[in-house]
Amino acid sequence: MAVTQGHGNPDWSRDETILALDLYFNCNGAMPKTSDRLVLELSSLLRSLPYHSKASRKETFRNAAGVVFKLKNLHKVATGEGFTTNVSKTDRLVWAELGAQRNEVAQLADLIKRSLSIDELQDDTSEPDGEEEFFEGRLLTAFHKKKERNRNIRNKLIAARHNRGPLACDMCGLKPQSSNARFEDAPFEAHHLLPMSMAMERKTQLKDMALLCANCHRLLHRAIALKRRWLTVVEARKEVGVVMSPS
């Protein structure tokens, strides 16, 4: 097997590949040199992303040569031209989904770059927890989960729903199965309803949150990941085929 550039470095994630595809489009078919300003900028951006443990970041990690090599892989997927044999599954998937959507790629790249300035996402080098990754990539998926795992928000949501009556899941209608008040809120989680582009624009408000049982929350996240787009609770209910609990 040929020795590949970037050998030993972690595989490129979806986010990273989207950023590279954005640069590929901006180069309009020309292959930039490793000294190109845009290549160097992307290299330093990728080196600053808050995942891939520091230990795995060698000197060659996402260096300019690695970036150009990725652009060549994308060129290969896009045109069939070139000699690289290192096209990855993620390269193919990202190209299949976004190769014809230059504007969408630019928007996603912009979102990913903007999410880098969110304090809570700094130093998030934890490996993905095996849950679904959304269309927008790992960084923005982490952003969604951080927002809805905020205890303060969840407690406020539960208190507000309490005032209206018994707690119930917005997706399946499930009510707490225990008559003991200490267990009442345990099945429920907060889900952030806004697409990430909007969620980034403002502070979380209660009306942006749904109250879901843990089961439905997982189903809804998987439906969003599988459909490759944002879904409302009603859309997800249909997609999953949720049967409503009797009220």
Q: For Zn ion, which is the closer residue by CB, 19 or 169?
A: 169
Q: What SS3 class is residue 215?
A: helix
- Least Å distance, CB 38 to Zn ion, is 35
Residues making contact with Zn ion (CB under 5 A): 148, 169, 171-172, 174, 191, 213, 216
Q: For Zn ion, which is the closer residue by CB, 84 or 141?
A: 141
Return d(Cα 9, Cα 133) in angstroms, integer.
Answer: 21
Running DSSP on this structure, what letter comes out for residue 193?
-
Q: For Zn ion, which is the closer residue by CB, 46 or 213?
A: 213
- Least Å distance, CB 140 to Zn ion, is 12
- Least Å distance, CB 2 to Zn ion, is 43
Which residue in 118, 138, 122 sits closest to 130, CA to CA?
138
Amino acid at 169: C
- Least Å distance, CB 171 to Zn ion, is 5
Q: For Zn ion, which is the closer residue by CB, 92 or 154?
A: 154
Q: For Zn ion, which is the closer residue by CB, 45 or 216?
A: 216
- Least Å distance, CB 20 to Zn ion, is 28
Instruction: Give 76-106 as a DSSP string.
Output: HHHHS-SS-----HHHHHHHHHHTT-HHHHH
CB atoms near residue 59 (< 10 Å): 5
Instruction: Give 221-238 as a DSSP string.
Output: HHHHHHHTS---HHHHHH
